Structure 1
Amino acid sequence: MKQALQSARILATSAALACAASASAQVVAPEQVAAEASPKTSQWGLGLGVGLDKSPLRDFDDEVDPLPLVLYEGKHLSVFGARIDYKLPSYGPLQFRLRARYANDGYEAKDSPYLAGMEERKGGLWLGGAATWRSGAVSVAGEFTAATGDAEGRRLKLELNREFRSGALTVTPRISAEWYDKDFVAYYYGVRANEVRPDRRAYSGDASQAIEAGVRFGYAIQRRHHVFIDVSARSLGSEIKDSPLVERSTESSIKLGYLYAF
């Protein structure tokens, strides 16, 4: 049974590896920029955004964070924000990439009164692969990554999105499912023995998942000037919701910004 589950996850991973490439490349609607990059040329973009993530953690001090934006689209390399992809050979509409991504999933005790006495949970570099299958305006994408450094765990994401265009406006609704292994849940949502207090029981949890729905709006003011807004909401799985650190079953996010394409 264990081997069957592992095989299923590997198969799902291969399909998933494709999605993240598409999802990430479209966050600021730089798809028009990337489309201009031929095998003999490359495209650059620079910009700045801001993001607000509403954490599900108890009494968490949510802040607006700056998002420096760097875009590079070349023959073998693709860079956007905190993600770097190395392009592998594609097969028709199916594209494969090796991926490195920084994710700031962690927290510090000072971020919430309820987290007092908790050890810091750090973000980290996640390594893995991505794949995307495109059919017309529809993309099926996926990503499988494993934590390096201080962070722990593995995650698998599958996404379906569809792009709608009207002149300079691009609207891309999406829905996705993400799986987290038990090490990820224990690290970010668990309570260790030395962190227990009367109102905070020990907790380790198990593998869990989340379902997300969102939409991206991109607008090309001119050929080289792009603005975007991205909003999303995520419903968390029971193994995360059951953590004593969590006070709500959903988390939301809004990001907006500007990109200049050279």
Structure 2
Amino acid sequence: MPQISRFSLRYNRSCSATIVALASVLVWGSASAQTASTDASTWTLGGGVSVIKKGYRDIDRDVLPLPLISYESKWISASVPTLDVKLNSNENLSMRLRARYAGDGYDTDDSPFLAGMDDRKGSIWIGGAVIWRPQFANLSAEVLHDVSGYSKGVRAKLQVNRRFAFGTFGVTPRLGVEWVDSKYVDYYYGVKTSEVRAGRGFYQGNSTANIEAGVRLDYSIARRHTVFFDVRSSRFGSAIKDSPLVDQSSETGVSLGYIYRF
């Protein structure tokens, strides 16, 4: 019976981590669909595998299945785990209402060091986003608020990417910065007085900014069939690196998969 319980907890945490991986990979799937006419509706289906290493102390890497699905139309852009409602959209500029699930946090059995901590849960974030596509790159910005009531925090992100095409092969580097407020840092990386243990002191978070970088390689094996490899890293700001729960300066992820566009 204990073995079943441990499996259940592990499975739930893996599901949350899968959502995080999808957020990274499916940005590209949606962006690709957006290059079509704004009046067209397109679907993308696929799958793959992702390896994620969070920054928490003594936490293991997760090797996870990666189901991929997205939908794009004149008014809707949807991909697990993001839903956008387009308020105003054309080939160069798109203003949106955005809802997203983010699998941040941990279960206490994820690491021996986290024993005695309360679970930190993933949240639904709602806010606004802008995507601008000048000729030289794709630029995006978003501001989101945690409406699940766990951290009650705010996060804001700026990102730039550009795809360089070489026949059927493509390379898409990206660079971004994400600011998170003190409520976010305190919830996911803070230590409450009731959680203090030997070697784990009280910690109250402050706002900080994380630097994110990644690159995606894609290859079109046929007209509607594409395989991709994606690697990313998020370097933590000082308020997260200073947390006693963290023993790394960054979080990393690698994904490999296949997608089919209808």
TM-score range, shorter chain: 0.7 to 0.9
Higher RCO, 1 or 2 (CA under 8 Å, sep at least 6)? 1
Alpha carbons of structure 1 residues 27 and 168: separation in structure 2 relative to 1, 3 Å: farther
Q: Contact conserved, 1:177 with 1:209, CA < 8 A, in 2?
A: yes
Q: Contact conserved, 2:38 with 2:91, CA < 8 A, in 1?
A: no
2:138 alignment counterpart? 139
The DSSP-based 3-state class of the residue aligned with 2:194 is helix
CA apart distance, 1:49: 2.4
2:211 alignment counterpart? 211
CA distances 1:95-146 after superposition (whole Å, capped 9, x unpaired): 2111111110020011000000110000011111111111114112111111
1:235 alignment counterpart? 235
CA distances 1:190-227 after superposition (whole Å, capped 9, x unpaired): 01111111111011110011111111112221121121
Cα RMSD for the two superposed structures = 1.9
- When normalised by structure 1's length, the TM-score is 0.85
What is the 5 A alignment of 1:58-73? 58-73=57-72
1:171 alignment counterpart? 171
Alpha carbons of structure 1 residues 230 and 141: separation in structure 2 relative to 1, 3 Å: same
- Code of the residue aligned with 1:187 in structure 2: it is Y
Q: Contact conserved, 1:122 with 1:150, CA < 8 A, in 2?
A: no
CA distances 1:165-212 after superposition (whole Å, capped 9, x unpaired): 111222111111110000000000001111111111011110011111
Alpha carbons of structure 1 residues 29 and 72: separation in structure 2 relative to 1, 3 Å: closer
Give distance in 1, aligned partners of 2:127 and 2:81.
Answer: 14
- When normalised by structure 2's length, the TM-score is 0.85
Q: Contact conserved, 1:83 with 1:101, CA < 8 A, in 2?
A: yes
Runs of 5+ consecutive residues of structure 2 not aligned to the other structure: 1-22
The DSSP-based 3-state class of the residue aligned with 1:135 is coil
- Code of the residue aligned with 1:171 in structure 2: it is V
